[in-house]
Amino acid sequence: MQATLEEELDNTDEPVSDSATDADDAANPDAPDKAPPANPAKPRPRRVLPDHLERVRVTHELDEEHRHGRCGGQLMPIGEEITEQIGVIPARQFVIQHVKIKYACECKECGVKTALMPLQPLPGSQASPSILAYTMVAKLLDCLPLYRQEKIWAREGLDLSRSKLARWLIDRASLLQPLYNLMQEVFFAYDIAMSDDTGIQVLKEDGRSASSRSALWIRRGGAPETPVVLLDYNVSKGSAVASMLLEEFKGYLVVDAAPSFNAIVSKNELVTVLCNDHYLESFFITSDKPLSLSE
């Protein structure tokens, strides 16, 4: 019944736009024909939202006073049109209360036993595992500095200074050591890798002036289906650091022409694959005429 009623309603639809066009043409018989657009715009297909996202139905219905046709009959639902939008629930903060129940015997001579809490990443701290993970992901994956996170928490009425957030991350970095070791194994198990060092400046470092330069060493490798990226901090950009980080690597190493890699390349008999920009530095320019890519 529903499908039949829908078909009947579709058949009674009038092409209003075509009728209006015909009327305009009849009123102006001498009007020149409209030229079709030179490049008619193609309708852009609407992107389908991912299936794994939860669908929350918000139903819109006619009010009772509008559920009557022109004949006075009752309008009945015959179908529905669905329009999808992306919704989001911002991060919600809450306080976890760990309630440790105390137990005692009726004899009153056995003492009191108190339930134990699960092991915490920062014992005695207000930081839960969830906020530690949230802070790490926001800083390292979403590139959200701690001073911006501090302002975000302040809007929620939480006093979490950047120094406190930094101390949380530093104190619990040791928890990630097993994961780091596993990623190193993946790195050394494949025969193609990239490495580079980037100079950085660290303020208020023990035993060093604020103008001292340090290095952030980057290693990228692993099989295509399991790529890994490792970052290591060191005060030096020397060959000793490169040799330590690549000590177990064998194969093809994509690097620049920095001399810090020469020792490990020679020791492990690595095949260096220079990037195009640094590779060109090995050639001498013998002409004043600018070179094009074709040359």
**Residue after which a domain boundary falls, among 104, 137, 171:** 171
pTM, two decimal places: 0.67
| 222 and 257, same domain (yes or no) | yes
* 74-120 residue pLDDT tens: 999 999 999 999 999 988 999 999 999 999 999 888 899 999 999 99
Q: What are phi and psi of 266, to 5 degrees?
A: -70, -45
Q: Kindly report the number of other CB atoms within 10 A of residue 249's CB atom.
A: 21
Lowest-confidence range among 14-28, 116-130, 184-198, 248-262? 14-28
113 lies in a domain? no
Kindly tell me the sign of the dihedral angle through the C-alpha atoms of 47, 51, 56, 59: positive
Domain boundary among 171, 205, 231: 171
Strand ranges inside 76-212, DSSP E: 102-104, 112-114, 192-201
Counting Cα atoms < 13 Å in the Cβ hemisphere of 37 gives 4
Collapsed DSSP state (helix, strand, coil) of residue 254: strand
In a domain, 91, yes or no: no
Q: Check whether residue 156 and residue 223 sit in a common domain.
A: no
Residue 173 CA to residue 156 CA, distance in Å, equals 26
Query: pLDDT tens digit string along 207-227?
Result: 888 888 899 999 999 999 999
The Cβ-side half-sphere exposure at 121, using a 13 Å CA radius, reads 18
In a domain, 201, yes or no: yes
Q: Are residues 196 and 135 in the same domain?
A: no
Domain holding 221, by residue range, is 182-280
Is 263 in the same domain as 191?
A: yes
Q: Structurally, how many domains does the chain consist of?
A: 2
Same domain, 229 and 206: yes
The bridge status of strand 213-221 relative to strand 192-201 is antiparallel
**Co-location of 155 and 239 in the same domain:** no
Q: How many residues does the chain have?
A: 295
Judgement on whether residues 259 and 225 belong to the same structural domain of the protein: yes
Q: Do 143 and 218 fall within a single domain?
A: no
Considering the domain architecture, whether residues 144 and 201 belong to the same structural domain is answered as no
Q: Do 189 and 274 fall into the same domain?
A: yes
